[in-house]
């Protein structure tokens, strides 16, 4: 009986690790843009600027970077038919002078979630403005 339980527990642990590895981070969920956005780069520039990010679009890549305290974070904005998604590229602490200069991924994830939230907020403003135009005319 103990051997059977041990085997079942082992199989369950292996299966659950595969499920956890395939889940998205909360900031990776695409923000659907629909047909409300005429100037996508303008929207991403405004959304990035809210918390001090700098947005660049060059060579077909849309990148946002932030330098906050000792953190340097770079993300790529992925645009497809589903919408705009934030994809983590790099995080480092080159200006850190302490003994332990590990990157705190919880802080990095928080900044990425805020960036995604700002994109969703800017899109919400466009949807609201479009709805107001339709009700007025």
Tell me the domain boundaries of the chain. Answer: 28-136
β-bridge pairing 71-80 and 61-68: antiparallel
**How many CA atoms within 13 Å lie on the side-chain side of 29?**
7
pLDDT tens digit at each of 137 positions of the chain = 666 655 556 656 655 554 444 566 788 889 999 888 889 999 999 999 999 999 999 999 999 999 988 899 999 999 998 899 999 999 999 988 888 889 999 999 999 999 999 999 999 999 998 888 887 66
């Amino acid at each position: 009986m103990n051997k059977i339980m041990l085997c079942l527990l082992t199989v369950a642990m292996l299966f659950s690790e595969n499920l956890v590895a395939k889940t998205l981070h909360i900031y990776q969920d695409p923000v659907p843009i629909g047909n409300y956005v005429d100037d996508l780069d303008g929207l991403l520039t405004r959304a990035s600027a809210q918390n001090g990010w700098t947005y660049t679009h060059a060579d077909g890549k849309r990148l946002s970077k932030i330098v906050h305290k000792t953190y340097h974070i770079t993300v790529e904005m992925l645009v497809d038919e589903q919408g705009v998604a934030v994809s983590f590229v790099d995080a480092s602490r080159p200006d850190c002078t302490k003994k332990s200069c590990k990157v705190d991924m919880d802080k990095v994830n928080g900044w990425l979630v805020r960036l995604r939230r700002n994109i969703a907020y800017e899109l919400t403003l466009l949807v609201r403005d479009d709805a107001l135009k339709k009700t007025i005319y």
